[in-house]
Amino acid sequence: MKSDVFALVWIVCVVIGIALIIWAIIMCLRKFSNWRIAKNSKKYFELNKETCEKSKKKGKVILESCAQYRDSIKYFNLNRIIRCSNSVVSNSSQNSTKYLLKYSDINNSVEDMERLEFISKFLTDYASFVEEMSRASDKIKKNLPLFYKIFSDKRKLSYLVCGLNYELANIKEPFLYFLYISPGGRSRNENKITIDISTIQTLVREVSKSVSKKGHSKHQRSIMTNDLREAIKKRDNYTCCKCGNSVYDEPNLLLEVDHIIPISKGGKTEASNLQTLCWRCNRLKSDKSN
């Protein structure tokens, strides 16, 4: 009985040993194959010249903008874990755009919008680069001798032949990771928001909306001058357009000039969008719109 168990353990060990040896040999052959291809990269480059030249060019562009991409991620304080309450984790999965804007350092400024646009362009270019490299690998593989065809690492082929660092294949999209762990550590909730191309485009849209809104408000407020206020009151005969109260009935009546469509809703500072209101009607209006 005991010897049976021994025999079984022995056989299992031998099988595992043989598998490990085979695996190690394959790994060595793969290393050797990759090394040979890198050594003869010029030859394979020439064999697939058109494809390889295109890939190499794209790779260089990616390589050049890599540092700026990483800087932008750091600048926006992305790629980090945020320890927060359980409800924040849940809400962040419902409304990822809002929580990305709230918990990153993305501001509603022209500069940040341009940075976001850069990230968006980088991610788009990068996706097309990775696709291109995979297509190039397919092509290169077709022209390889059988030995290399079997043993070389297909994913790395185009990088080896084009002389590009394989790390270029591992650039990740930015993310924010929301994590809740209860005080006792027993319950846990998490949500990782990956900022892919469509998310970044949504962020660009959100920020650009706020930026243009801010610009609009600032401009419309700046052209609201005292002269214009006086002119509108005079036009409306110093009478409230809502209740009809006027300075003729009530000499101390405080009259204000109101935007019919508020600036915050896209209204402009021009005579057709302005009216005279007494302060009471104006308060009432702004209370309603809040």
Binding site for Zn ion (CB under 5 A): 240, 242-243, 245, 278, 281
Query: Nearest approach, Cβ of 116 to Zn ion (angstroms)?
Result: 45
**What's the closest the beta carbon of residue 283 comes to Zn ion, in angstroms?**
10
List of E strands, the chain: 80-83, 175-181, 188-194, 255-259, 274-278
The one-letter amino acid code at 283 reads: R
Beta carbon of residue 256, minimum distance to Zn ion (angstroms, whole number): 10
For the bound state, the minimum distance from the C-beta of residue 285 to Zn ion, rounded and expressed in Å, comes to: 9
Paired tokens of 259: 């935007």
Question: Which of 158, 275 has the CB closer to Zn ion?
Answer: 275
Cβ nearer to Zn ion, comparing 65 with 245: 245
**Cα(115)–Cα(104) distance, rounded to whole angstroms?**
13
Please say whether the dihedral angle defined by the alpha carbons of residues 95, 98, 102 and 104, taken in this order, is positive or negative: positive
Is 217 or 245 the residue whose CB approaches Zn ion more closely? 245
In Å, how far are 77, 157, 222 from 23, measured between CA atoms? 43, 21, 74
- Is residue 200 within 8 A of residue 123, CB to CB? The reply is yes
Nearest approach, Cβ of residue 97 and Zn ion (Å): 41
**Within a 13 Å sphere around the CA of 69, how many CA atoms are in the beta-carbon half?**
19
Is 216 or 242 the residue whose CB approaches Zn ion more closely? Answer: 242
